Structure 1
Amino acid sequence: MSAAGIPVVNLMRTPDGAPGDSVMAGDREGAELAAQHLLGLGHRRIAFIGGPPSVDSGRDRYVGFAAALTAAGLEPDPTLCARGPYTVPFGAEAVMRVMAADDPPTALYSANHEATFGALGALVQLGVRVPEQLSLVCHEEAPWFPYWHPPITVVDNGARDLGELAAEQLLRRIDSRPDNGDPGPEGVGRLIRVGSRLEVRSSTTAPRRPG
């Protein structure tokens, strides 16, 4: 598309050397906020479910999560970390796996909405009470999260802002094209990040047992 002179804006993903501007979420920042919130409540056994390291968001959210634990003098426990495809079945299987650990977690950070949809069903199936038995933070807001029982604490990655900014950048690129009938390929553009925000609700509380 770029070679054909079609303006390009990358949204949420930015392959190396990709032409055009890239509009990205503050994934590392958001993951740090989630982990810091749980650590601040007293949790030390914190599970992580996220995407693969080959994808920007999967890599950056794990890096942010691990950085927050390291700053608190901890390290991610491999038995409590599950990274895999962005699918509902993976989220369900990952919850079954981490909750079956010899020393199960007192908190869970589910780092993408596809995994979250599977994780919520698995927690119900297991009869895990949130937040009494397990505090839960999910990444990416959903319209029904405030109405779940209990309402879910989320990292809001500003999806609306991301979409609007990407559209604005694309329109700007279209308007600035030379009208000479032979626009050249786009060069690598700017990297623009939209900050994340933690929305604390009732799905997180201090652990009822030592974390």
Structure 2
Amino acid sequence: MDTIARRGLMLVLSSPSGAGKTTIARRLLDEDDAITLSVSHTTRKKRKGETDGKDYHFVDRDNFAQMRDRGAFLEWAVVFDNYYGTTRAPVEQALREGRDVLFDVDWQGATALRETAKDDVVSVFVLPPSADALEERLKTRAEDSNEIVSRRMRGASNEIQHWDEYDYVVVNFDLDRSVEAVRAILAAERLRRARLTGLEAFVQNLLATL
């Protein structure tokens, strides 16, 4: 056996809408078998191309409220009049088994996750290279109307103001470089001594054989 047992981590990615966090997240998931996506519950309508259970668990407000009231969520938040929440049980199981979980959430979700699982959270904020680039990206998303684009641009200022609450910040000048930066963060955090639950036994065994 050439690995040391470790506790999984929660990699939290946040950014204003359109800055690239979802694209970065998808690249990480495609390239790294050791991390899985936390599939949130949401009350928003399903977009073209999305799959229930893969992109989100789409539920109505009554079902969401019932889950919230019985403590099923690690965190939940309201974003653009829709509810989003992260279910607790599958995340806690993954961490115990040494698997990493990726979260694509806004600053509210990141704050709630830090409050409930601080030692497990590694947070990364993704900034756009400019306001113009952010607006152009939003306009190219066919599912968003001009009204929604304007609303998201107004919301970007509030989101960006929370950048300094995160462990790491990546400015998305170039997608490939941004993905590599987040991969480097993930690689380093996996080696953090406190997460290597099997390290003490390994070292004791090593010393005993010297």
Structure-2-length-normalised TM-score: 0.36
Q: Point out the structure with the larger helix share.
A: 2
Q: Which has the larger radius of gyration?
A: 1
Structure-1-length-normalised TM-score: 0.36
